[in-house]
């Protein structure tokens, strides 16, 4: 296993890259999908889609999924990091962060939140909460409150469904409560 950049070069300790694996048990490719195989397996290394960093002792920390990463103004924003901060707020029951189109930055983080019953919380309050704990570019530009978040049968939040309304919208946006 190694952690690599987009070109397949190994990343230094502490820097985020994609997890690549190679073993006798790794798949040879996708059935009848040579293009997908070529995107996934480079020089015998299978790209997992997991973004991670390794510490100097070799311990690996998964940061997020590559497909969920938001690129805002050239900076990589990992939704999981922002979600973990949102979950620290006493008014947040559930949270998911997605990238929405932004006219200047390309994308910006949008937090989709289910408020904890009986707790009043506003969008601006959550943005300020995040700004106290994260770099400014990692903070949500919008917060939308939902009654519930869509989930799979196993309880995983379905981010692809959350992204759908923004696919053709061309602009981000949200509401503060």
Q: Which tens digit of pLDDT belongs to each residue from 13-45?
A: 999 999 999 999 999 999 999 999 999 999 999
Indicate whether 176 pLDDT > 80.
Answer: no
Question: Residue 168's pLDDT is what?
Answer: 64
pLDDT digits (tens, 9 = 90+) for 42-67: 999 999 999 999 999 999 999 999 99
H-assigned helices in 48-122: 79-86
Q: CA–CA separation, 35 vs 54, rounded Å?
A: 30
pTM of the complete model: 0.86
pLDDT at 171 over 80: no
Q: What is the pLDDT of residue 166?
A: 84
CATH no. of 2-66: 2.30.38.10
Could you give the C-alpha distances from 39 to 5, 48, 97, in angstroms and in order?
14, 11, 26
What integer best gives the mean pLDDT of the chain?
94
Give me the pLDDT at residue 169, please: 62
Burial 113-123 (b: 16+ CB within 10 A, else e): bebeeeeebeb
Per-domain boundaries in the chain:
2-66, 69-166
CA gap 50, 167 in Å, rounded: 23
CATH number of 69-166, picked from 3.40.50.620, 3.30.300.30, 3.40.50.300, 3.90.1660.10: 3.30.300.30
């Amino acid at each position: 296993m190694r952690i690599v950049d987009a070109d397949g070069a190994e990343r230094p300790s502490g820097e985020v890259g994609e997890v690549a694996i190679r073993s006798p048990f790794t798949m040879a490719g996708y059935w009848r999908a040579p293009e997908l195989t070529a995107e996934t397996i480079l020089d015998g290394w299978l790209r997992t889609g997991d973004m991670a960093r390794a510490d100097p002792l070799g311990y690996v920390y998964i940061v997020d999924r590559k497909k969920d990463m938001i690129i805002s103004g050239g900076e990589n924003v990992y939704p999981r990091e922002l979600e973990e901060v949102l979950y620290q707020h006493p008014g947040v029951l559930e949270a998911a962060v997605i990238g929405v189109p932004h006219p200047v930055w390309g994308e910006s983080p949008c937090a989709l939140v289910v408020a904890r019953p009986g707790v009043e919380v506003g969008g601006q309050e959550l943005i300020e909460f995040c700004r106290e704990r994260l770099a400014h570019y990692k903070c949500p530009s919008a917060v939308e409150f939902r009654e519930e978040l869509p989930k799979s049968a196993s309880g995983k939040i379905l981010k692809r469904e959350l992204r759908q309304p923004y696919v053709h919208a061309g602009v981000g946006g949200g509401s503060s409560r």
